[in-house]
Copies of this chain bind each other. A is one copy, B any other.
């Protein structure tokens, strides 16, 4: 399951991408529109900024804007940032590798392969889920 933090982050990013002409957009506007506790959202936006997914501008007409085109910001990156590894086992993650404590022999572990296959599938799909892709899907869905 995605954490609430990750979901808030995704909603905030999609919101900014949808109102791209209003950039920069303030945290308080996003908080109100997306029903996210302001202070919590602030910390999320700061993390997104530190990860260079967002840019920020201080002061009266300040706020946050996308750092790069919405075609290049995808869910794999956001998920990893807040929830860490995407895989089911730490021993098959690319970015957060760790040995499985419970594992007797990693080389012959039968569930490792399965976890690897699932990871590959999942990461591919999350990478394809860019902000623009998500918005396209929403447009298509609301036309039905």
Contacts of A38 in B (CB 8 A): none
* Chain A interface residue bracket vs B: 35 or more
A85 touches B1 (CB 8 A): yes
B102 touches A129 (CB 8 A): no
Smallest beta-carbon distance A10→chain B, Å: 6
Q: Is A95 located at the chain interface by the 8 A CB criterion?
A: no
Give the docked Cα–Cα distance between A102 and B84 (Å).
20
Give the docked Cα–Cα distance between A129 and B125 (Å).
21
Q: Mark A104-144, 1 if CB is under 8 A from B, else 0.
A: 10011111011001100110011011000111111001100
Contacts of A14 in B (CB 8 A): 110-111
